[in-house]
Structure formats: C-alpha cells, structure tokens
A and B are shown apart, each in its own frame.
Chain A
Amino acid sequence: MLTFVIIYYAFLILACCVAAYYKYRTALLLLFTLLCVSLISGLLFGAEVLVNITICVALLAAAAGLSYSFRESLIQVLPPEGAKLMRTAPLTASFGLLVIIAYVIAAVFAPLIAPFGEAEVVGGSFAPPDDVMLLGGDQLGRDLFSRLIYGARNTVGIALMTTAIAFIVGTLAGLVAAQMGGWVDQVLGRIVDTLMAIPQLIFALLLLTIVGTSVLNLTLVIALLYSPLIFRLARAVAGNIVVMDYIEAARLRGESTWYLITKEVLPNITAPLAAEFGLRFCFVFLAISALSFLGLGIQPPTADWGSMVRENATLISFGEVTPLIPAAAIALLTVAVNFVVDWMLHISSGLKE
C-alpha cells in the first residue's frame, strides 16, 4: 500500500510540474485540485480513498477516451455534412451519443443479449451475483441483468412514444394558436392553463386510477399531461416567426393555415423543438419510472427500471447496491440525453465560442 501511495503522489506532483512547465492552464488547475483533494481525503480517511480516486479518474479517462475515439471515427465515417456537425461536438456530446446508441442497441436486440427471459425465474430470491446471473437475482429469483436489458426496451420505448405523442399534439396546437391568434389562441391557452394548474404527478395518479393502468392508458395520460408545456414552447417560438414578412407574403397569397404552419413556420422552429424533445424525454422517462415505483405505471411482470428499484428497495437496508443499478441506468440515460441536448442548444443558439 505504501508503494502505491508514494507512486500516486509522485505521479501527481510530476504531472503538475509538467503541466505548469508547458503552461497548460486548465490541466494544471485540474491536477493540482486533485492533488489537494487527495492529500486532505488521504489524511482524513486513509489510503483506501486514494485507490477509489484512482479508479474514478481511470473511469473518467476511459469514458473520455472512448468518446474521443467514437467522435473521431464518426468524423471519418460520416458523409461531409455529418462530419462537419460532429466536429463541433464536445466530448460530452459524443459520450451522450455513445450511451444513447448503446441503450438503443440494448432495447432493440434485448432477446438476443439477455441470457434469460424477463419473467423467467432462474435462482433463489436475492441470489448473489455469480457466473450465471451477472448482477444477481431479484426478490423472485429472476435474473437482474436480463430484466435490466428488457427494461431498456419497455421504459425507453414507452417514454419515446409518450414524448412523441405529446410533441405532435402540443406542437400542432401551439402552431395553430400562434398562427390563428384571436379566440382560437385564447381558448387553447385557457385549456392549457387549466391542465397546468393541477400538480402533474397527482393528476397522473388521479387519471390512472380512473381509467385503469395499461400501457396505452399510461402513454396517453402522460402525453396529455406533458403536451401543455410543449404547447407553450411551440406557441412562443412560432410567435416570433408568424410576424415575419414571409409569413405575411404567404397569407396574402391566400395559403391555408395548414400550409402556413407545416411548410412555413415549422421548419423554422425545429431546432428549439428538437432540444426540448430531448429534455422532455428525460422528464417523461422519470415520470414513468416514478409512476412505476408507485405501482401505477408499467405492471409486473413486465420489467421496467422504476418498478425494479421499488421491488428491490428492501436490499438497501442490507448495504447492497443491487436496487441502485436500475436507478443508475435511469441516471446515465438522463445525463447522456442532456449532454446531447446541450450540444444541440448550443448549435441552434449560433454561438461560436
């Protein structure tokens, strides 16, 4: 252990010096902060902390390296348009893309990847991880790893569909309100106000209790609850477009409202809407997980991450990390999507620095 500690500090100090000598400001600051943190936590908690820090840093470095090579290879592979876009992507965005692609692959090829079925009982309840069950078993002895893979399919698929419905409804209504103005705008606006006046989760619980829990109902209820937010955004951004002279020119030409909103306005607001889509997707995803956790979402034995957290929650008291794995899957996807959304927002804002 002593050798490790000595090597650890020697390496950090050396790296600091090199960074300082070659005037890499950011690198120096980062390394020096790390050195200080290690010194303090090492003194407080003993040398084991240093091992953990090393692992964390190594993981981060591995993620960064992976993202970097992923981005560079995309630049090489993609056609010129796409390559140009990718060159503007920060490492975080390419990391996000990579994670999203991994999730999509897991969702699409779930039956091929998962060693067992999603409802198949393999071992004893709360079986510890071994060669057969990579992450151990859940409370009924089903394979946690397989359920995690199937969960990607259910949770992500349903969230995607819900967000898509919310967007179609919200955007269309928002565009119509912005374009027609007058009483149409007023009526739609007040309906939306009413929907937004009731706390979302409680409203969702209420509606699901009334209509019953099925995947279809869940999708429609959450889509209904989220469409007002999209309505407001679409109406606001379209409001800046409908006053443009080219819209006036089209109106004077005698074009129909449908042509105006789909052909003239919509192409101009896709950037903010796409960014909002990513963000909203995360919220919908969390809402479904929350509802599943509360027992009103996706019903057993269908695997989904929200209910997996709930089912295994008892293990927390025994100091096990098992229930945190599906939670981590949720967190990772949310972070990844937000990285990509940030990048898209940056592009659509037109900033160059």
Chain B
Amino acid sequence: MSDQEKKSVLLEIKDLKIEGYSDEKWIEIVHGIDLTLHRGEVMGLIGESGAGKSTIGLAAMGFTRDGCRISNGTVLFDGMDLTTATRAERRALRGSRIAYVAQSAAASFNPAHKLIDQHTESALLHKVNTKSESEEDAIELYRRLRLPNPEEIGFRYPHQVSGGQLQRAMTAMAMSCRPDLIIFDEPTTALDVTTQIEVLAAVRDIVDQFNTAALYITHDLAVVAQMADRIKVLLKGDEVEEAETRKMLADPEEDYTKSLWAVRSFKREQKPPPAANETPLISVKNVSAAYGPVKVLDGVSFDIYRGQTVAVVGESGSGKSTTARCITGLLPPSEGEILYDGSPMPPRYQDRSKDQLRQAQMIYQMADTALNPKKTIGEIIGRPLQFYGGLRGADLKKRVDQLLDQIELEPSLYYHRLPSELSGGQKQRVGIARSLAAEPSFIICDEVTSALDQLVAEGILRLLDRLQKELNLAYMFITHDLATVRSIADVVVVMKEGKVVEMGPKDEMFKPPHHEYTDLLLSSVPEMDPDWLTNLLESRGVDNIGEAAHQKKA
C-alpha cells in the first residue's frame, strides 16, 4: 500500500439524519452530521448521553437500532453507500471490513461458547481464514494485546476471565478479519481505572499496527485525548465542533466545549478534622464478612464523623460495596460490629428499629433500578415520609414539594411523572430526595455518579455538597473515580481485596509517598494531556500498568 492509499478517505458521512419512533411519531434525533474519516485515523466522538454518539457510530455500519431509521444523507464506506446497499451487501461488510466493540464485553460475549470459538466465527463466516489459521491468528492477537497466557486464554469461557481481559479479547475479535474500520462504543466505561489503562494502551497499539481507522465513542474527555487524532463534539444530535485533538484541548472555540473542559474543576476544601473527643457517627469496627465460604472483608475498620465525607476507593471486588452492605445490615458481618453514635447496632437489618433504619440511607449507582418504574416521583419520595413520619394528604404533598425544591426539580412538573420520563441525572436526584425524606444523619452513596455524564455528575456532586452543609449529613462515598474523591472527600479509605490498605485525610492522600497500590490507582487516572498515556507507558513500561502490575506484586 502506498502512502497515499494509506491516507485515503475511508468513511464519508454526509448530512446524516436519523429519526427515532416514539409516541407514534418519528422524531429526528440526529440532525445532519458530516463526518470524514481517513484510513488509519482515529476519530473521537464525545458528548453527553442523548447526543447521538452511539446512533452515529452504528449508522457508520449502515445499522440503526430497533425503532430508528436513517431518514436522510449518505454513508459512504470506501465508495459504497450503506444507506442504499442491500441487506446482504451490508452483512458482507460487517465483521469483515467494519467491526464493532461494545461497551459491555461481558454482555456481548455469548456465555455458552469459548472465546476463541466466538473469535473465529466471523473469519469463518466471511471465508477469510480456515478454522486453524484463524485460531493461530487469535493467539497472535491475544499476544499482541498482552493478554496473559495467550495460547490458553482463548479456550476459556467468558465468565472465566476478568472484565479488562474480556474487553481486550473483544478488541482482538474485532480485529479477526483485519477490518478497515472499528467502532469502539465506550469500550472502557465499565472498567476500573487500572484495567482501563491497559485496554487503552492495547487498543491504541493495535489500531496503529494495522493502520485501522476507528471511531472512538466516549463521554470521558481524558480518555478520548489519549486515543483520538481528531475529536468531534456532539450535542443533542448536532455537531458542536471538530478539530485536531491537541488544538481542541488547547483552544476549544464553542462555549459548550469549554464547559465540558471545565467540569473537572469542582473541588471542595477539606473540612477540619473532628475534635478528639467526638464520638464517630458510624464506626466500623474490625468487620469481616463472607459470602458463603468466600471471605470478602477482612478486619475492616474506619470511622465516619458528623458532617464529613469518607470516600472509599478501590477496584471492583475490593469489598467497597460489601462494607456498605454490612453497615446497612443486608449482610451480617461474621466478625466485628457496627457502632452508631457509640452504641452497637443489630447486625441484621430485620432486627433494627425503625429509627435505626431511618438514620442510615442509601443512594444507588443505577438510578434506573433504584426507582420503581411503576410509581410516580411523588409516590417514591412520599413513601418514606408516610412510613416514618406518618404524614398524609396535604402535609405529605407539601413536604414532597419541599424536597423536590431541595433537589432543584420543579414540583408542579415532576410530581406526577414516572421515572422513565426523567433523564439519568434527574433520576439520581429523585434517589437523593428519597433518602433525604427519611431525614437521615448518614447517607451511603454507592458510585452515584459513575453512570452519569461529567456535566451531570458535577451537578449531583454540587447538590450533595450543598445538602451536606445544610443538613450536617455524613456521607460514605463509594467510588472508583478519583476525580470524584478529589472534589468531595474529607477522608479517603483505600481498599484492596477486602482490606483497608491506606487511610487518611484527603490532602495527605494525594501527596506522595503512597502505599504502592494507592500509587498504582492514582497514576492510572487519565489526564487531559494527550501525551499522558505515552509518557506513562514510557516511564513505567507496559508491564507495570493495570492487572499486570498487580500480578507482578502478588
């Protein structure tokens, strides 16, 4: 391939309009997008949810979701218009020349087949390779993506490998026919920071090696800064602006882009430590817990004081959420106890009094599953008031309206709505209102912002901060996002494999020297600098990031 061919235009989308069917009407959700992608180029598509990123990504394959249609425009892939191509023609392209990597590899792999069988499937289907050739190729790709035991890992089932490995195996699968274009739809959003960095490095590497073009869809700016050559910012189906990555980061033109860039600025001052003789509101004392024979918590102890925020950080499986389950009484600890205001609480929630239950409330990660879809917002927020306070009729309505005001939702508009009629951020606000309705002194926030866009997440954090000041609440903030910790925590607890590895006030925790695990966590958080990943890989080496680093130490 000559240099000219290497840089030729691969994908050209012109004036693309997509409509979605809802309420018996076709509503335009993408309003005329132009996009040009050259061979070997990585284009980052960013925007909040509902911006149409994924819809455009799928349209680049000539595909629309159920209930959507392309109403206007052309999608030229290597000279062929996918909007007018027949089903068979499009099917021939997919998998062989255009591949797709979905957000959740765990949900996208078929759990009943081995990884390598799924890997070879499209190569066999498109008659690119024979089965044995394709298997050899898979092992080679696994090696290039630095999966552990490349010869053996393909013969495992999806549930037998970790999330980060699965995401890399999916990238390998997308490469199986050496496609010209790969669409990455938020491939690292569901992963921990330490795992994410490995996947990012692997994806960047492999795209580079095979001169593959890619559309990289994400809402994480720091991630896209590492991956993309050009960035296109989208808002509600419209293009805001497009530019080279460096130019975009250094000098965004539009106000919206600037506001996106500024999100990470929210930072609260650390509060002074509590007086020495103050009794902690919640005290976790030497708690161990197990699911059946599997021990998940091992002697965890920390204190939470009134009006303070304790951030518990760690990767998935480190026991953060289990600690919360022990505090709420869903999982009685096998050893140790939970003290509330100095006196021990019954280990099982069934044995706790109404008042004890009222004091500790929870806000969940997925607002979708945390609100009953068949109940109106008024009913959801009203129930704790009714249950604990015995409020009825007009009193109840008045108090719910107050709470809705507190979470900045207009009562007259939202009282009668169902959760499905709300956006993600609004749902999370309703979740907050429901816990406030119980008038607690302590709230557990379980990854409350990780399913939200950065702008929305910042709004939630500001709201929680304001409520803490007004109501003197104590928060236990479970998160794997260190930016959140930086903005809202007073005390940081780092957990790993069911143990507390380090604990201290925020200002100290973000300054070296660290425990080596804390150091690994901190160094894995992507930064907005486009050279960050390159520099990090250079300074630490590919074997000292993510899971590889863990295993080395183990």
Contacts and interface: CB of A to CB of B under 8 A. Distances in A.
Interface of A: 84, 87, 244-246, 248-255, 264, 267-268, 351-353
Interface string B328-367: 1110000000000000000001001010010001101010
A29 to B, nearest CB: 19
| Interface SS, A side | helix
A352 B21 contact: yes
Contacts of A251: 330, 349
Interface in B345-403: 349, 352, 354, 357, 361-362, 364, 366, 369-375, 383-384, 387-388
A248 B66 contact: no
B349 A249 contact: no
Nearest to B379: A263
Nearest to B384: A253
A245 B369 contact: yes
A253 B438 contact: yes
Given A84-B24, A249-B364, A253-B384, A267 B375 contact: yes
A352 B67 contact: yes
Contacts of A246: 369-372
Contacts of A267: 372, 374-375
Given A246-B372, A252-B349, 5 more contacts: A245-B366, A249-B370, A251-B349, A253-B357, A253-B384
Contacts of A268: 372-374
A253 B352 CA distance: 10
Nearest to B325: A248
A84 B349 CA distance: 45
A252 B357 contact: yes
Contacts of A353: 66-67
Interface of B: 21, 24, 66-67, 328-330, 349, 352, 354, 357, 361-362, 364, 366, 369-375, 383-384, 387-388, 434, 438
Contact of A254 (B21, B24, B357, B375): B357
A248 B354 CA distance: 15
Nearest to B435: A249
A253 B387 contact: yes
A84 B364 CA distance: 34
A251 B357 CA distance: 10
A255 B357 CA distance: 11
A148 to B, nearest CB: 41
Contacts of B371: 246
A245 B364 contact: yes
Contacts of B366: 245
Contacts of B372: 244, 246, 264, 267-268
A219 to B, nearest CB: 31
A103 B345 CA distance: 61
Nearest to B366: A245
Contacts of A84: 24
Contacts of B384: 253
B350 to A, nearest CB: 9
Contacts of B387: 253-255
